[in-house]
Amino acid sequence: MYIEYHWPVPTCVYPVGFLSNELQRVGLQPTPVGFVDAPDPQDMIDLESQFEELENEVKEINTNTETLKRNMLDLVELRHIIDKAHGFFAAVSSFLLAFNGAALGLMSMCTR
């Protein structure tokens, strides 16, 4: 997608592909604006710097989102491991209590 600015003499085309692709990726469709009057050269410089800042912010957000997803998967995996370990130790504990109770019963029978 391109936005075309018509200067008094030449035509300038500014690519906005990255932002357009990001909008489409999240399900938003950019609205074509057709031809618009060109802003002043100083305004154009300001717009380009804002575009660059927005692009960098979107890239940083994407990176942070991926990091958060990986961290979430790691935490879910650790929670599963902790739950399994808790079940194991509960089973061993109940087994040891039952074994000790049976051993005490045998010892009391032998001492009679």
**pTM for the predicted model, two decimal places:** 0.55
d(CA 5, CA 11): 6
Determine the pLDDT at residue 74. 97
Q: In the chain, which residues have pLDDT < 70?
A: 1-16, 30, 101-112
Residue 44 amino acid letter: M
Locate 51 and state its tokens: 């575009």
Q: CA–CA distance from 67 to each of 25, 76, 92 (Å)? A: 18, 14, 37
The 10s digit of each residue's pLDDT in 60-69 is 999 999 999 9
Q: Where are the domains of the chain?
A: 1-38
Q: Is 4 helix (H, G, I), strand (E, B) or coil?
A: strand
d(CA 91, CA 86): 9
Determine the pLDDT at residue 7. 46
Determine the pLDDT at residue 13. 47
